[in-house]
Amino acid sequence: HYATGDVKGAIEKINNATWISMLISIPAAVGLAVLSGPITRLIFPGTNGVGGQLLILGGITIILNGNSNITNGVLQGIGKPKLPMIHAAIALVADVIAMALLLVFTNLGVYTIVIAQIVYAVVMCLLNDRSIKKYMGYKNPWRSAYLSPFLASIPMGVVAGVVYYGLYALIHSNVICLGISVMLAAGVYFIVYLFVSKPGEDELGMMPGGRYMKKLARMMKII
């Protein structure tokens, strides 16, 4: 689209890619934060709880990396392949400086690494976004791409936590409780998202399991 001069079409593709990425990334980050303890115990049975706390912080980078991956591709696609590398170098410097300052002036220990990674991802996103605005006049679709998934992720997170810890009090099986809570939370997320976002048929078709999402939307009388 950009090569043929269709900037409007290129921006539409970027919006769609950002929307799909956030549709998945935001609930994934919230879910990992809410169920961080059970997830780390599943993978590392001998964990002392620090792993879960690190996962809560690290979950933020899922959203940031989802954004930076798309913007990296956009800059390469419009003929600016050097910019992502320059931005990555600047972000790495910010990462190292943040880590050094935190190690010297705080007692955060291993948490310093995760915080520095968040700094890296934030700087990368901001620089990429600035360049896309400069060369394409692009404006990030914050409301449609970010707000709706975030609002739908709130009840999803509540359901995930309540179901897991409620079941675990009864059957004490991490695997079973985690599996049931994830499946129910995912169902709640998509149902709430349909109510909040009210996507059209074209948008539903682009979603994971689009055919089933259309059926669900019709049952809910959204389309």
Tell me: the pLDDT tens digits for 99-122? 999 999 999 988 999 999 999 999
- Quick check: 185 pLDDT over 80? yes
pLDDT for 152 equals: 95
- Please report how the helices 60-77 and 7-34 are oriented relative to each other, as an axis angle in degrees rounded to 10: 160
User: What Rg, from alpha-carbon coordinates, does the chain have?
Assistant: 20
Model pLDDT, residue 223 = 67
Residue-level pLDDT at 79 = 92
- pLDDT: is 199 or 94 the higher one? 94
The pLDDT value recorded for residue 186 is 94
Torsion of CA 158, 162, 165, 167, to 10 degrees: -140
pLDDT at 144: 79
What per-residue confidence (pLDDT) applies to 53? Answer: 87
Say how far apart CA 26 and CA 193 lie, in whole Å: 12
Place of tokens 């990396």: 65
The neighbour count for residue 179, using CB atoms within 10 Å, is 14
Q: What is the pLDDT of residue 218?
A: 83
Q: Who's near 9: CB < 8 A, 6+ residues apart? A: 1
Mean pLDDT over 195-208 rounds to 81
Question: d(Cα 183, Cα 170) in Å, to the nearest integer?
Answer: 18
Yes or no: say if 26 and 146 are a contact pair by the CB < 8 Å rule: yes
**Longest Cα separation, the chain:** 61
d(CA 127, CA 91): 9
Across all residues in the chain, what is the average pLDDT? 91
Taking residues 147-153, report their average pLDDT: 94
Q: Give 202 or 99, the one with higher predicted confidence.
A: 99
Pairwise CA distance, residues 183 & 84, whole Å: 37
Residue 55, token pair as written in the block? 């996962």
Residue 25 confidence (pLDDT) above 90: yes
- What are the pLDDT digits (tens) for 39-97? 998 988 877 778 888 888 888 999 999 999 999 999 999 999 999 999 999 999 999 99
**For the range 173-177, what are the long-range contacts, defined as Cβ-Cβ under 8 Å and sequence gap of 24 or more?**
174/38, 174/41, 174/42, 175/42, 177/38
Amino acid residing at 186: A
pTM reported for the whole predicted model: 0.88
CB 157 within 8 Å of CB 31: yes
Backbone angles phi, psi at 78, to 5 degrees: -95, 15
| Strand segments (E) across the chain | none
Residue 208 has pLDDT above 80, yes or no: no
